């Protein structure tokens, strides 16, 4: 897909971080943008700021974990703009802790947003895109955590691996049926976003905040500390996404230590050896080789 002028992009998790950056990047490329997010005040602010720059946009509060809200998002998008050309299933949340200690509520929350949010987006929007019979593109946001692995963040790693595998299967489904819809899976490294504060949008029925552990505190504190100091600017990721759509490129990967950790994992699989602990230095705020 190379022509972006007057096309329509739907971005979930668009009130902040990577989603907000993608929305602005698409708008600057000439697209009409639909911003979806569960955080209503931040969503309104993002929409107002894009509108002040003269960009045509629509803000729709959406809980991507609820299929009916994603269907409402699609309906309102079609009512306003008449089409959907780019879909970014980008909304995501984070929590940490040892696999056996992590509360069921954490598993449910991350599955609802990180996995079901993508599934709902695909099931709702792909039939619309197929019916348009014109070039379109889907970007599913995973993480470099989706192609690596490590300790103390089992639920997050699990959900992001699911997004990578689902996106690969979606790519094969669409290409094997002759579709005109391209697919990319976005695997960002450490980014300067507020994902370390994701609990601000956690549903009340999945609270579970009475749980704490040294491992949980270590990972979440490290993330909140490193993201604003060493994290990549979201705008950099947004430009990667735009270029990947132009180039019909599937894997959008980091080129830093996370990429090397991915290569170590792939070599583990190739050789059939036990998993190697390969944590990028930038993930722990250290200098030097991966450990």
Tell me how far apart the 2 most distant CA atoms of the chain are, in Å: 55
Phi-psi region of 270 (alpha: psi -120 to 50; beta: other; left: phi over 0): alpha
Cα separation, 48 vs 84, in Å, equals 21
Angstrom distance (rounded) from CA 188 to CA 156 = 14
Decide: 31 and 13 in contact? Cβ < 8 Å.
no
Tokens at residue 230, please? 């060493």
DSSP state of 210: T
Does the annotation count 156 as an active-site position? yes
Q: Which of 156, 157, 166, 171 is catalytic?
A: 156
Separation between Cα atoms, residue 122 and residue 115, nearest integer Å:
11
The residues that are catalytic are 156
């Amino acid at each position: 897909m190379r022509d972006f002028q007057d096309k329509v992009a739907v971005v979930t998790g668009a009130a902040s971080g990577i989603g907000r950056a993608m929305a602005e990047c698409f708008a600057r490329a000439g697209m009409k943008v639909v911003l979806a997010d569960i955080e209503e005040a931040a969503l309104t602010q993002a929409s107002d700021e894009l509108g002040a720059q003269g960009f045509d946009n629509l803000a729709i509060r959406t809980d991507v974990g609820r299929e009916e809200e994603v269907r409402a998002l699609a309906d309102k998008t079609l009512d306003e703009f008449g089409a959907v050309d780019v879909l970014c299933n980008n909304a995501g949340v984070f929590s940490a802790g040892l696999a056996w200690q992590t509360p069921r509520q954490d598993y449910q929350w991350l599955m609802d947003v990180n996995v079901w949010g993508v599934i709902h987006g695909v099931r709702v929007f792909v039939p619309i895109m197929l019916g348009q019979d014109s070039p379109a593109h889907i970007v599913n946001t995973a993480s470099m955590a989706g192609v690596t692995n490590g300790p103390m963040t089992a639920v997050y790693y699990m959900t992001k691996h699911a997004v990578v595998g689902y996106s690969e299967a979606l790519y094969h489904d669409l290409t094997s049926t002759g579709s005109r819809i391209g697919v990319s899976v976005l695997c960002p490294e450490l980014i300067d976003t507020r994902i370390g504060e994701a609990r601000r949008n956690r549903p009340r029925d999945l609270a579970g905040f009475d749980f704490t552990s040294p491992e949980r505190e270590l990972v979440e504190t490290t993330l909140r500390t490193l993201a604003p100091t060493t994290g990549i600017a979201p705008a950099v990721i947004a430009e990667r996404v735009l270029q990947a759509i132009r180039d019909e490129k599937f894997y959008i990967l980091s080129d830093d230590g996370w990429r090397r950790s991915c290569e170590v994992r792939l070599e583990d699989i190739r050789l059939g050896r036990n998993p190697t602990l390969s944590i990028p230095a930038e993930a722990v705020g250290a200098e030097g080789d991966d450990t």
